[in-house]
Amino acid sequence: MFVEIVGGLISGSLALLADAGHMFTDLAALSLAWFAFRISQKPSDEKRSYGYHRFQVIAAFVNGITLVFLVGWIVIEAVVRLFKPVEVEGNVMLIVAALGLIVNVIAFVILHGGDRKNINMRGAAVHVLGDMLGSVATIVGGLVIKGTGWTPIDPLLSIFVAALVFRSAFDLVKKSAHILLEGSPEWLDTDRLRRDLKEAIPDITDVHHVHAWSLTPEKTMMTLHANITPGADNVSALIAIKKYLAGELGIKHSTVQVELSECSDEMEPEG
């Protein structure tokens, strides 16, 4: 990051300065991701019965928002440069960008070897991927400037990289916000779940009040009500439902209410 700041100031390259700014957010983002990972390992307590798993989702959301603001800054600065071009030193730009690319590739390989379903890890990887793309674009820009002297390639490539980063950042913000808002997992079809449960467990006559949400992308929680036929064993039905949810959907934490008649939530109170 410091090398790119110095190199950007010496060469006059916006792409290098933008990448240095991105690396600065990476420093904060990777630190936050590491801290979130450590915090999420803490066990649950009386005040936080689900533990601290959601902290990693919050970290991913903050990282995504930070990237969106960074993209905005890069685009604004690039537009200014298009109307007011500055001289760019291609040789310095090339050397610094090449060093940055090596560092970013190493970091990305390390992160890519981690848990790809972990949204916190994905947030960190998106930051480094953005840096890697920025380094590649800067190398291309340096080659063009050195070969043709056409300096507008520098801000144009900055906008291109910003667009790529924005797409990943927006997806990260969208998915982490969905989890924080207790949205249902994208892969879950509740209508199909109702049908499949009735087919798999003959004693079930109806499934309703199905609520599912994600503690993290890897940990799905669910509650549901199930009506069973008169005379059926409610304990056996309960065990069968929870076994189906764990085996077929991977939902190991579920709360199931077995009902022998009308749903208790829909019955009018007496008096």
User: 104 falls in which pLDDT band (50, 70, 90)?
Assistant: confident
**Quick check: pTM over 0.85?**
no
- Where do the domains of the chain lie, and which CATH numbers do they carry? 2-180 (1.20.1510.10), 190-266 (3.30.70.1350)
Instruction: Give the pLDDT confidence of 149-186 residue by residue, as tens digits.
Output: 888 887 888 788 788 778 878 888 898 899 899 999 88
DSSP state of 249: S
> What percentage of the chain carries pLDDT values higher than 70?
89
Instruction: Give the pLDDT confidence of 69-87 residue by residue, as tens digits.
Output: 888 888 888 888 788 776 7
> Quick one: average pLDDT of 54-83?
84
Is 76 within 8 Å of 162 (Cβ atoms)? no
pLDDT of res. 213: 93
- 138, pLDDT greater than 60: yes
Is 128 within 8 Å of 111 (Cβ atoms)? yes
- 22, pLDDT greater than 70: no
CA–CA separation, 166 and 175 (whole Å): 14
CA–CA separation, 22 and 140 (whole Å): 18
Mean of per-residue pLDDT scores for the chain: 82
Residue that has been written with the tokens 């900055």 in this structure: 158
Is 123 within 8 Å of 63 (Cβ atoms)? yes
User: 193 falls in which pLDDT band (50, 70, 90)?
Assistant: very high
User: 117 falls in which pLDDT band (50, 70, 90)?
Assistant: low
Is 220 within 8 Å of 214 (Cβ atoms)? yes
